[in-house]
Structure 1
Amino acid sequence: MWLELHDNNGPVFVNMNAVTHFQRVEGQRRTTLVTFAPKNADCVTLQVKESPDEIMEMLWDED
C-alpha cells in the first residue's frame, strides 16, 4: 500500500508494505520511517511531517 506523505521538499510516496517500523521524532510532530528491501538488503530511513497517529489513520482509511 502506497501513502502520500510529506517531507521538507514536498510529497513523498512511501510503500508502507516495505516499512519495518516507524516512530515519532522525540519532541516533534514528525515521524521517522525505516524501509527494508530484502532483495538487496538496502535500508532507507525517511523523516516525514505526519505524526504516527496520522499515518495510522491513513492506513486504516485505506482498508
Structure 2
Amino acid sequence: MWLKLHDNNGPIFINMDTVTHFQRVEGQRRTTLVTFAPNSGACGMLKVQEPPDEIMEMLWEE
C-alpha cells in the first residue's frame, strides 16, 4: 500500500509494505520510518512530517 507523505522537500510516496516500523521523533510531530527491501537486503530510514497517529489513520482508511 502506498501513502503520500511529506518530507522537507515536499510530497513523497512510501510503499508501506516495506516499512518495518515507525516512531515519533522525540519532541516533534515528525515520524521516522524504517524500510526493508527483502530482495536486496537494503534498509533505509526516512523522516516525514506526519505524526505517527496521522499515518495510522491513513492506513486504516485504506
2:42 corresponds to 1:42: yes
Unaligned runs of 5+ in 1: none
Over residues 9-58 of structure 1, what are the superposed CA-to-partner deviations in whole Å (9 max), with x where a residue is unaligned? 00010000000000000000000000000111100100000000000000
Aligned residues: 62
TM-score w.r.t. length of structure 1: 0.97
Give the match for residue 2 of structure 2.
Answer: 2
**What CA distance in whole angstroms lies between the structure 1 residues aligned with 2:39 and 2:30?**
29
Q: Does 1:13 align with 2:13?
A: yes
**Is 1:58 aligned to residue 48 of structure 2?**
no
Instruction: State the TM-score, normalizing by the size of structure 2.
Output: 0.99
Code of the residue aligned with 1:9 in structure 2: it is N
Sequence identity (%): 76
Which segments of structure 1 move beyond 6 Å, counting only runs of 4 or more? none
Counterpart CA distance in 2 for 1:48 and 1:20 is 15
